[in-house]
Structure 1
Amino acid sequence: MQTFEFCLLICLIAVMPSVHNAEKPKVKISSGEKPVYVGDTVTVECSHESDRSDSTGWRYWWYRNGGHPSQGQKTEKVTVDQPGSITYQCGVKNDHYTSPYSDHVTLTVLELPSQPILRVLPSTSVWKGDTVTLRCLSKSGLTGTKVTYTFQKGQKSEIKKTPQNEHKINLAKQNHTGSYWCEVEEGKKKDKKKSDEVQLTVKGK
């Protein structure tokens, strides 16, 4: 090999990104609520150092509890449906490189208490025009028993009575600010259980 060609090859190698020395991906689990109960939704994200330089062409693989991998997105929203510990790992690959697996990250999910829990999503503080979801988590709703959910604002204002455990507020306004709670009624038992109140604040833009 001539001297010029050899120098050119060395220079090209020097400037090429060293994907083979890349760090393992990292799993990040985030939830607006702590602790996490059955019925909550969490976000799992697979971050990789190549995201900072080249975000195209990467495919993401997720491993749950050490099971078979499934292809997914960089960020996934997961609604947990049973109590216990769930471990997540991820890997990334493109046409030229496959990463090692990330380290395990464990999510602990608690059994729901007997009292319902009201979740206000995405947050208890939102901007005018945002969509707000009121979600009533109930142990009764997991048993297959017919359940009726009542969503209320304050002490006297009933918003909705429904067999669904969610109620959406579209295009939130500042007069939606207030304390909200939900009540669960089980089928023929007529046994009513009420959540604690949760304060929602709608800020003006």
Structure 2
Amino acid sequence: MGHSLLCMMGFFLLSTVICGNAEAKPKTELRADRTAVPVGGSVTLTCSVSPSSSSSSGWKYYWYRYDSYYKLVTSPDAVFLSNGQISVSEGGLYWCRGGRGEPVYYTEDSKYVRIDTTASSRPVVTLYPNWSEIYRGETITVRCEIHGGDTEWDYEWETNSTIKPPNQNESRIRSASSSNSGNYRCKGRMKSSQHNTTEWSDSVTLTVSHNKPRPVLTVSPSWLSPGASVTLNCEVEHPSAGWSFYWYKAVPDLSEKSYSYELLPDGSGTAQDSYIIHGQTHTAGYVCRAGRGDPEYHTDHSQPKFVWSADVHSAASLTVSPDRVQHFTSDSVSLTCEGNFTEWRVRKFSEDGRLYSVCRRMTGSTCNINTSESDTGVYWCESGSGEFSSAVNITVQSMLLYIYFLDLNDLDVT
């Protein structure tokens, strides 16, 4: 039995499958000049029958909208600009189709276009704490704030960082990294009407530094008068960014060839970036560090800085042989640590501000060196029991240069 006979016999289901339609329904296309209605504005929608599917003449256009239910769009829901073009100011899902003839023959439905309505409230992105730079490992909160009214919102974030915040009003970054660096902006969508949104906020930049900060400690004075007050100052790269300060005494640790740190009295989390020590009499070393945030983030410790005393009556002392301040290059100089201690190391603070251990191996409590000009500096001893000796300032000069200056002094310039 042929296809035409089956169709003539009216076997409806079978003919639908085998015969099909003589011609597929024309398609429609829906375009919008924007996807969000601006505050006080409108969006223009244009519907057209695809020319490739059928002649475009004689069509009348029908418009539909879905927000919480399906609805045929009529006046005053839209302004009908022309046949096939309307202006709308309400959000929702819109689609259209064409129809012509009597009875009306309809095209296929267009694909839907989502139109949002922009609320008058505009969100603001804030960083808390609002510091100009965040360091790796710190905790920071990125917050989207929408002011005005008691509307409940869903939130959407846009960022060029590697990690996108969840769609909530705030995101707490518990251990920041460079992946969190970037520009952040947000918008809100009403819970009661998902087609009502705010505009995008302005972007806020979050910068996360990979390097952990190290504060710089200064001490004044460097050389002590017995019983003088010593002022410590601790400086961080961004001094106004919520830092509190911690103050420590440096305790020599000969086994680690370094120092351990002992918190000074009332030296925990002070608001001031300075700390005064009253009545200092002996050579001592100090360090500081800073902390901020909740939970508190700490910088590295500063490099140790020292105040020196030449007091020969201290519990430990350094003697230099030959006993003079001025030495010459290639001199043999002995540095001897004295006191009731068994282990020692000799330390030097050079003219370029660097700290050195002078002798890798000591003969008992004595360190022997052959001097060069780079040996100029302040020397002291440190014991395995954590004591500092008195300090000695040593200057090393070239003998040839010394003789040259002597010759200049002998010249008769009159």
Q: What band does the TM-score fall into relative to the shorter chain? A: 0.3 to 0.5
Larger RCO (CA within 8 A; separation ≥ 6) = 1
Task: Give the TM-score of the pair, scaled to structure 2.
Answer: 0.24
Considering fraction of residues, name the structure with more helix.
Answer: 1
* Structure whose CA Rg is larger: 2
